[in-house]
Amino acid sequence: MSTMNHFRRFFIPVVLLSICLLSISQACAGSNTKIDSFSKAKRLLLNQVYYDHRITFYCGCPFTAGKQIIPSDKFSPTTKHVKRSRKVEWEHVVPAQAFGQSFFEWRKGDPGCVDRKGKAFKGRKCAEKVNMEYRHMQADLYNLVPANGQVNALRSNYSYAMIPGEPRAFGNCDMEIENRKAEPCPEIHGDIARIYFYMADAYPGRGIISKKNRKLFQAWAKEDPVDDWERERCARIERLQGNKNRFVN
């Protein structure tokens, strides 16, 4: 066998195998490319991720399979969005608006974003209609957690921060919201940080983390290490979605 034939026979298959393994690795550690429906994402979370851990993220309130909050001393509602205080909603830890505004369709619209009356629209509705990457980001299971609807409404799209004085509006729930900032309880600081790190890593160029918040999240991740439930949650999501959160695993 000539030297060239020997090279082709043994070296080229090794290179091709390496490329395949690299592609598989990137797919496993990359972004969500499997789930593009927010409605489907919510069903998967309820029935296949949180089926035996029906506890809200911010306040630790138990809830039913029908997404109804079970009354407890964990939470006391405020006077705003009272009806939403009785049910669970799926909260984007990284707000949809935070990454949505990086999409042209959100900011400016698209020729495909016209309603039945011929009126053009933009924003979340337009990005969801015409941009597949946006739909994948919006439906990414790693970024969605069960939250009391009232807390979800009042947190809005505010960024996380440390709030001086610890003003509490939800009774025993250690969740402060003030001056367009939100501070959750220390027990989930690391969970939040690792979700942000994952989203920034999976969807580069979308402005997920500012320099200021990166320092805060690095401190939070160190202060609150990965626990058993966070690890199990990510394992379940990986089986459904096909990619890893490497900051947990």
pLDDT 10s digits, 114-127 = 999 999 999 999 99
pLDDT of residue 20: 39
Once rounded to an integer, what is the mean pLDDT over residues 126-146? 98
Q: How crowded is residue 187: how many other Cβ atoms within 10 Å of its Cβ? A: 11
Rounded-to-integer distance, Cα 205 and Cα 186, Å: 29
pLDDT digits (tens, 9 = 90+) for 140-193: 999 999 999 999 999 999 999 999 887 778 989 999 999 999 999 999 999 999
Reported as a pLDDT band with limits 50, 70 and 90, residue 29 is low
Average pLDDT, whole number, for the chain? 90
Count the alpha carbons within 13 Å of 177 in the hemisphere toward its beta carbon. Answer: 17
Question: Is residue 242 predicted with pLDDT exceeding 70?
Answer: yes
Contact 189, 224 (CB under 8 A): yes
Contact 95, 87 (CB under 8 A): no
Whether pTM exceeds 0.85: yes
* Secondary-structure breakdown of the chain: helix, strand, coil percentages, each rounded to the nearest 5: 50, 10, 40
What sign for the dihedral angle of Cα 241, 125, 134, 219?
A: negative
Write the burial class of residue 248 (CB in 10 Å: 0-12 exposed, 13-18 middle, 19+ buried).
buried
pLDDT digits (tens, 9 = 90+) for 190-204: 999 999 999 999 999
